[in-house]
Structure 1
Amino acid sequence: MEYYAHYDQKQNLKQYLSEHLLAVKNIGETNFVPSVSFQEISNSELKELIKNILFFHDFGKYTTYFQNYLVKNIHNKYKEHAHISACVAYLWIKKYLFNEKENITKLIWAFLAYVVILRHHMSLEINTFFDNEKWGKLEVQVADLRENIDAIVADLNDRWPVEREKILEILKVNELKEETLFIYMPQYISNRFKNEEWYFASIYLFSLLIDSDKLDSGTVQKKQMCFVEDKRVEDYIKQKHKNDTHTNFVNEKNNARKYMIRTLQELTSEQIKNQHFFTITAPTGIGKTLASLQCALYLRNRIKKEMNYTPRIITAIPFINIIEQTQKDYEAVVGNTAHLIVHHQFADFGNRSNGDEIIPVERKLLEVEAWEGDIILTTFVQLFQSLLTDQNRLLKKINKLAGSIVILDEIQSIPDEYMPLIGAVLRKLAQFYGTRFILMTATQPKILQLGDMLLNEKKEEPIELLKNHDKYFKNKKRTKLFPLFKNEFNDGNEFVEFFMKIWQQNQSALIVVNTIKRSIEIFNLLREKQQKYKEINDNIKIYYLSTNIIPKHREKVIEKIKKNLENKEPVILVSTQTIEAGVDLDFDIGFRDLAPLESIIQTAGRVNREGKKGEGAPLYILKIDRDYEKVYHLHHIDRVKKLLADKECIWESEYKELVEKYYEELIKSGVSDKSQKIWEEGIIGLDFTKLKEFELIKNIGEVVDVFVEIDDEASVLLNAYEDIKRGAWGSETLCRIFPMECKNLDIEPTFFKKRALLQLLLKKMRKYIIQIRINRALKNPPIKFSARNGIEANFYWIPKNQVEEYYDFETGFIDETAAVYIY
């Protein structure tokens, strides 16, 4: 008899079950790296455990009930395969790997194997899910497997020789009814035997299984990790700055980068093997992005030499708007020598090939979501929300962290309340997965120290790669802060009057406020000063930037400002926090509404960025109608006010000392209640529902996506969306957007291709989407998308012929009450 794992008669796609089991085992074994290490289980035992999980994960598909469902489309309640597979795997591991030892630790590992197989098509939970109905199903399935035992063993022996008697032995699933320790194991490991190790073990095993399973099902071939010389970074920098006349600035960046590489070169073999944390502390504009990449490439090649495996490099960045420039730099450095994956919600994974090979869109999506590359560029949300979740899709990539080098850029962007939690998670990833971290920022927070406080443990100290960083801070006199807290501005009018007294017509000015409502008010007031009162010269461009305008328009605004600044044409930019990180603009003067210290210093990094404007370019810190209370926790703001209250001005050379005092105050405040709760209940207590309380991006009110059909391209994308939803796969619109994929779209695509095409289309649509709080859009509510042509969608819509009613081309979504804005 032939047994199938996957069977699609329409597409003529078939995969034998034994072939699938062996392929998943091989993929998982390849992904396992020697740096993974847990307590009381040897590396060889762990590897064998993983092999058994992978091989037995779909064993239940050998039932006649599943085969009839798959091949003949006969539905029945006994076709489910995960539970019987989980029971069989547990018994095999207990009997033949651990030899029935009554060792509680080993039985916990066997139980985790049971759980990850049971849940491998669902979200992850730690439970046995046993009731009388499930026992009844298992008995029927076991009887069927016993009846066909000879055919099953013969099929298995084609791929992985097994003994008939051993298979019969592990079909004694009824034994589990009497095994008290098994039935009550969820309570044991979340109470009596609780330990954070079980959380990190369970998500690792779960991730390794579902990743290997989906990669094989999607026919993604494993690739060898590629060698990339760290010198490529140096070559790229030389090329990038070959025409730069500001030689002092370039030399300073090069000297700092070379110092970091020398620090790594001086490390002994033992340090390379055992050191997991590195820091890069340097002021803005010192070239941390490329320096950290070169450090990671050098470290990667040393690890290959010392430990005989090649780590991935995973760079996580706090904000999507930083990624585009970083991606360009990374692509220029690695070229075709390595596989670069860019993974965030707007990332376009289309139009990519591997040499002469055209990669199908469904494979591209699988590679991106599985982080199946040499270098991964992603966001904090993708990284940390994937580590603290029960969701199958997000957990899939977590096994790729094992043994990797993770660069965390602008680590201070993590909210204070989560710093102890994230610090503890980083410590445990280093301990259990062998992950290495490069933490880089101009304002190095005490994230590891806070993590150690949560863990109540003292761990290794990080190695600072730029040990002489004080020199770079002390020499910096590009900017200075002027705290103006004595006078609070009651509204935008009062601020604009102050601005007009300070600002000079030949200066480029940056104004950063805390809410969209305030930013629009100030922008309109400045426009009025220019157009009505003629107090601002007509040749000065006034720009607006916030998440209230569609990404396509934000990109255009940034490009226009860059050109103006390059041509030394004065501009005024009114912005929200969108400008703070990654937007490489350079103004003469800045104004910042009160915010946490790291946000203030980030804004200062957009003023006199390259030091070409002399010394002491001012950034005024002020309070506009207590807007900060709507965005930030008051205790964060109180710390800033306390630090800045008595200072008339603060030079850039003093920023580092100021930041250290800020984080000393944070340390004194102890571990936040939120971090403590998620760690104790979610991670140690293995209550995955508690992890839902972790939100890097707050879901404020009823936030919805709104698609602005503002031009012909937007219309084409919506037409394509409707075609996909209708199943009109060969339509002219779809062929226009996906020309490479259009050849076979007259045939109904596979599930994987449907999902990949829809995902790729949605990413293209993102440049026309804004977010609002729909339940507050009383006067100007957007329209449900189904009103367009009857196609349902989970986003709202602004029709092309009504754009002017809803959307201002300069300031975005129109709402007179300002209630819909997300700050």
Structure 2
Amino acid sequence: MSIARFTEDGREQLLQDHLFSVANLAKRYAEKIGLGSFGEVSGLLHDYGKYDLRFQRYLNSASGKYKYCDADYLDPVANKGKIDHSTPGALYLKNVNGLHQNIKEILTLITAVHHGGLIDFISPDGTMPLSKRLEKSMSTDGFQKAEKDKFDFELSRRVNVEKLQQEYKEYIKKFKNIENNNIRLFLMGLTIKFLYSCLIDADRTDSTAFEDSDKYSILYDNQPNWEQMIQALEKHLTRFKVRNDIDLYRRKISDQCQEKAGLPGGIFRLNVPTGGGKTLASLRFALEHAKKNNLDHIFYIIPYTSIIDQNAEDVRAIFKEYGLEDLVLEHHSNLTDEKNTEINNILMDNWNAPIVFTTMVQFLEALFAGGTRSPRRFHQLGKSVIIFDEIQTIGIKNIFMYNAAIQYLTEFAGSSVVLCTATQPVLDNEILAPHQLKISEHNDISAGIPEMDQVFERVKTIDKSGILNWSHSDTVEIIMNEFKNGNSVLTITNTKNAAKELVELISSKLTMPYHLSTSMCARHRKEILKKIREDLVKHQKKEGPPVICVSTQLIEAGVDVDFDAVIRHLAGVDSIVQAAGRCNRSGLREELGRLYVVDPIEEKIAKLEDIRRGREVTKRVFSDFYEQNPNKDLQIINPIVIQNYFTQYYFNRKSQMDYPVFLGKYEVSDNLFRLLSSNEISRCQANRINSTSAPYFAYAFQTAANEFKAIDALTQGVIVPYLEGKEIINRLCASKNPYEISALLKEAQQYSINLFDYQIKELFKNQYLHETQIKSGIFYLSEEGYDDTYGLYLNDHPENVYIF
């Protein structure tokens, strides 16, 4: 009997069992978009080539069942990756009579490449990698005939041409109202990616469950018990007391979220002032909406890893009383590179949990990254509530692709999306046409709550950004005056270097301030934030001195702290408004808090384009305000000011929203949106150089994935020796058990920081950076490279970077 794999303890999984199991799983996943037969057929055929006798000899030799002296022995090292078991299934599909060409192209692609990542239909040089791969002359003469004939009979029954074509016909009806051809093609490209995700997750899930179902529990087969989670949240909400108007309006916002949850699925907007309780309000909406629409998951997509742990911890605490805390998955980032190793196969988390907290980086990589690790997760986003917290942080280059992805998830994959922030970007504005989102006015969740903005007006803006030659010393003077008057002060900078310089200057004149940046691991930041909150409470009770803190932007989004005054280095209006949310947060002070906006000459941002461009627009918005309101003080927490800012900012940068790239390998300028839609430049080149006709689909999936970066600079996760991080490092260096390593790496996420290439090179040079084991791809920092105040500390190579 042909086998699919051997386990370490010698158990065999029969090939036909694996193929049927993967087909059933992939079918179930693909039914979310109405293409269950596509999932089933790709699952049946993905490992069809394993019936080849050579592949069976290879597997038996690799497992040790065949010995070196046996006639059928095949050197497993020399033949690893050499016997193509993916293409035969694609060739079978290519030769199915009566099947529409578009369906063949979709299914042959995902079947042929299920191990290595999607490849191009047409590359920028005009070559056609998929067509070339399908030109292989692969005989099935070497297959085990009796088994193959039996399986082929089953294939003839289950590869139902009529059903495939009927599903496809019904599916493409959804495109009839999409006028723009590139958008239509982009959405079809996401369909292919979705089906690819269904196949690779089904394949990995079945394989891992067979190998070790006890140690790797990955299946939540039953519909989540949303009602039980709703009860837990409602009980938690009854414990909140109404102390003032802000608390009263937090309750009104939450109640309106519950009320609007009964609306049909779509794109929703939750525009709540900072401190308005949007995390729990949006959770209330999501739970009710998921229950009423029979959805599978709730995703919180958060901009920075720095706030995932806080939000996930808050939600887990709500469910803990009911024993449901394990239903919350917290996914930060990956500490290892994507490699085909046993460890990484286990670590390829597939987001199969009822509630998932992850980052915008991970979300975008599930959609647009290459390989199999991130794309595996894509299909889980179907039939889900997806909450984007602080949506204004979306990178400018990603906007057209992001908007199309949201359209796909809501119109094709049965999901609902909530855009959640105090500073709503104008993603539905006509200046983005034809790429703007279409948001129904009925789906504005917080609309109609009277006087909400006035109630949440808790700060006075003091604009000093126009003062020339402002210096760090001037900022410290404000801090000293506030401190002497008994007020706690938070200063927020644009760069880590500016934060470090301010900390040193303050400590030389006044007191050692608290410091926060992403040079510190999450556990370190959590410890510091805990101390800050404790000291703020003591100060408010007049039991301790005022608190001084200097932080990078990480503190702005979702971090619950409450200072008397905030100083913000000039940035985009959205960042300044978010900073204001850390001042007089609960409105319990007798007077308004103070928000100072300053522009120090020492902070160098020339290479930080997003901040620089945001500052330029902010200066124009401020100027417009003063010109139109000559006798008024600037009040930045104003919906008109925020909308004016985003309208100008997006108008000025629209040319960058399709993710422009220069493809150095091909000497071609293009953009990722076009590469993932019509790919017309590549198609024209293909028509010039090829005698055969090009395929209907032209997607340059692999080329686009190679160019895609969710953030501008790639980073590597590194474990640091902070508190328990030291023990984790020691155990990772010693362990040979992949399951133990997997568990340790999950723990290590709280003790890791992300480093740029230049930092990694510098740390290796100074012998501060090491690998846990040879070729493990897991790195750790020695104690000499980590500081209790600043985290990563490079004296001879100061950082001036903007990353979270």
* Partners of 1:709 and 1:410 in 2: CA distance: 31
Q: TM-score scaled to structure 1, two decimals? A: 0.78
Match of 1:671 in 2: 654
Correspondence for 2:729 among 718, 738, 742? 718
Aligned to 2:425: 445
Secondary structure of the residue aligned to 1:433 is: coil
8 Å CA contact 2:306–2:522 kept in 1: the answer is: no
C-alpha change, 1:591 and 1:635, in structure 2 (3 Å) is: same
Q: 1:109 to 1:135 in 2, by over 3 A?
A: closer
* Aligned equivalent of 2:604: 627
Deviates more, 1:217-226 or 1:663-672: 663-672
Q: 1:596-628 CA distances to partner (integer Å, 9 max, x unpaired)?
A: 111111111110110011342111011011534
Offset of residue 716 of structure 1: 2.8
Q: Partner letter of residue 84 of structure 2?
A: E
Q: Contact 2:721–2:781 at 8 Å: present in 1 too?
A: yes
Higher mean displacement: 275-284 or 604-613: 275-284
Q: Residue 332 of structure 2 aligns with which residue?
A: 345
**Equivalent residue, structure 1, for 2:138:** 138
Alignment of 1:257-268 (within 5 A): 257-265=254-262, 267=263
1:314 equivalent to 2:299? Answer yes
789, 794, 801: which is aligned to 1:810? 789
Q: Following TM superposition, by how much is the alpha carbon of 1:366 offset from its aligned partner in structure 2, in angstroms?
A: 5.7
Q: 1:662 to 1:401 in 2, by over 3 A?
A: same
SS at match of 1:278: strand
How far off its partner does 1:248 sit? 4.0
Mapping 1:261-660, distance limit 5 Å: 261-265=258-262, 267=263, 272=264, 275-304=265-294, 310-334=295-319, 335-336=322-323, 340-345=327-332, 369-449=349-429, 453-455=433-435, 463-469=443-449, 471-501=451-481, 503-530=483-510, 542-568=513-539, 569=544, 570-625=546-601, 627-633=604-610, 634-645=612-623, 647=626, 649-651=633-635, 654-660=637-643
Q: C-alpha deviations, 1:79-111, integer Å up to 9, x for none?
A: 32101111113333xx2xxx34xxxxx311211
Q: CA distance change for structure 1 residues 133 and 279 in 2, over 3 Å: closer, same or farther?
A: closer
How far apart, in 2, do the equivalents of 1:560 and 1:709 lie?
20
Q: Within 1, Cα distance between the matches of 2:381 and 2:133?
A: 39
Q: Secondary structure at the match of 2:104?
A: helix
| Correspondences of 1:689-700 after superposition (within 5 Å) | 689-699=703-713
Partners of 2:590 and 2:599 lie apart in 1 by: 27
- Does the 8 A contact of 1:482 with 1:620 survive in 2? yes
Contact 2:403 2:435 in 1 (8 A): no
Aligned match of 2:150: 154
Matched, 1:204 2:194: yes
Task: Provide the C-alpha distance between the structure 1 equivalents of 2:30 and 2:257, rounded to a whole number of angstroms.
Answer: 30
Q: Structure 1 segments of 4 or more deviating over 6 A?
A: 130-134, 191-194, 362-365, 456-459, 776-781, 785-790
Q: Percent identity?
A: 23
Alpha carbons of 1:452 and 1:14: their partners in 2 closer, same or farther (altered >3 Å)?
farther
In structure 2, the CA distance between the partners of 1:438 and 1:372, relative to structure 1 (3 Å rule), is same
- d(CA) in 2 for partners of 1:489 and 1:778? 36
Looking at structure 2, the residues matched to 771 and 596 of structure 1 have their Cα atoms a distance apart, in angstroms, of: 24
C-alpha deviations, 1:386-407, integer Å up to 9, x for none? Answer: 1112221110011112222211
Q: How much has 1:452 moved relative to structure 2?
A: 5.7
- Following the alignment from structure 1 to structure 2, what is the Cα–Cα distance between the partners of residues 666 and 694? 23
Where does structure 2 lack aligned partners over 5 or more consecutive residues?
A: 63-73, 122-127, 161-180, 210-217, 336-341, 627-631, 660-670, 680-698
Decide whether aligned partners of structure 1 residues 368 and 690 sit closer, same or farther in structure 2, where only a CA change above 3 A counts. Answer: closer
| Counterpart code for 1:254 | R
SS at match of 2:115: coil
Per the TM alignment, residue 783 of structure 1 is displaced from its structure 2 partner at its CA by 4.1
Quick check: 1:238 aligned with 2:237? yes
Give 1:470 deviation, angstroms. Answer: 5.6
- Residue identity opposite 1:719 in structure 2: N
TM-aligned CA distance change 1:723 to 1:491, over 3 Å: same
Structure 1 spans left out of the alignment, 5+ residues = 37-42, 101-105, 168-190, 305-309, 349-361, 532-540, 730-753
Of 465-474 and 286-295, the range deviating more from structure 2: 465-474
- For residue 430 of structure 1, report the CA deviation from its aligned partner: 2.1
Matches within 5 A, 1:760-779: 760-773=743-756, 775=758
The answer to whether the 8 Å contact 1:120/1:209 transfers is yes
1:175-194 matches, within 5 Å, as none
Q: 1:208 to 1:526 in 2, by over 3 A?
A: same
Q: How many angstroms does 1:434 deviate by? A: 2.5
8 Å CA contact 2:573–2:642 kept in 1: the answer is yes
- Paired position in structure 2 for 1:743: none
SS of alignment partner, residue 698 of structure 1: coil
2:393, 2:437 → 1: CA distance?
24
Distance 1:509 1:603 in 2: 12
Match of 1:650, SS state, is coil
Measured against aligned partners, the alpha-carbon deviations of 1:225-260 in whole angstroms (never above 9, x if no partner) come to: 12312742652433542xx47254433211221123
For residue 252 of structure 2, the aligned residue among 252, 255, 266 is: 255
Q: What is the CA–CA distance in structure 2 between the aligned matches of 1:329 and 1:632, rounded to whole Å?
A: 34
Task: Give the secondary-structure state (helix, strand or coil) at the position aligned to 2:225.
Answer: coil
Distance 1:820 1:84, change over 3 A: same
Amino acid at match of 1:138: M
- What amino acid is the match of 2:259? R
Which is bigger in relative contact order (C-alpha 8 A, separation at least 6)?
2
Distance 1:85 1:235, change over 3 A: same
CA distance in 2, matches of 1:789, 1:548: 21
Q: How far apart, in 1, do the equivalents of 2:439 and 2:412 lie?
A: 13
Show the counterpart of 2:700.
Answer: 687
1:135 and 1:447, CA in 2 relative to 1: closer, same or farther beyond 3 A?
closer
The answer to which of 629-638 and 509-518 deviates more is 629-638
- How far apart are 1:276 and its partner, in Å? 1.1
Q: How far has the Cα of 1:113 moved from its partner? A: 0.4
* Alpha-carbon shift at residue 52 of structure 1 (Å): 1.2
What is the CA deviation profile of residues 387-436 of structure 1, one whole-angstrom value per residue up to 9, with x for unaligned ones?
A: 11222111001111222221111111113343333122211332322321
Q: 1:432 to 1:667 in 2, by over 3 A?
A: same
Name the CA shift for 1:263/1:391 in 2 (closer, same or farther; >3 Å).
Answer: same
TM-score, structure 2 as length reference: 0.79
1:173 matched to which residue of 2? none
**Alignment of 1:217 onto 2:204:** no
The number of residue pairs the alignment matches comes to 700
C-alpha distance after superposition, 1:35-88 (max 9, x if no partner): x2xxxxxx4xx3323221111111111111111111233245873210111111
Q: CA deviation at 1:262?
A: 2.3
Q: Within 2, Cα distance between the matches of 1:669 and 1:821?
A: 26
CA distance change for structure 1 residues 65 and 341 in 2, over 3 Å: closer, same or farther?
Answer: farther
**Structure-2 separation of matches of 1:288 and 1:402:** 23
The structural deviation recorded for 1:341 is 4.2
Structure-1 residue corresponding to 2:46: 57
Aligned partner letter, 1:562:
R
Matches of 1:132 and 1:161, distance apart in 2: 25
Letter in 2 for 1:3: S
Query: Whole-Å Cα distance in 2 between the matches of residues 320 and 656 of structure 1?
Result: 28
The partner residue of 2:57 within 68, 74, 85 is 68
SS in 2 for 1:511: strand
In the other structure, the counterpart of 2:688 is none
Corresponding residue SS for 1:581: coil
Measure how far apart 1:501 and its partner are: 4.0
Distance 1:380 1:788 in 2: 28
The secondary structure found in structure 1 opposite 2:418 is: strand
1:102-135: CA deviation from partner (whole Å, max 9, x where unpaired): xxxx311211100101100002113464799986
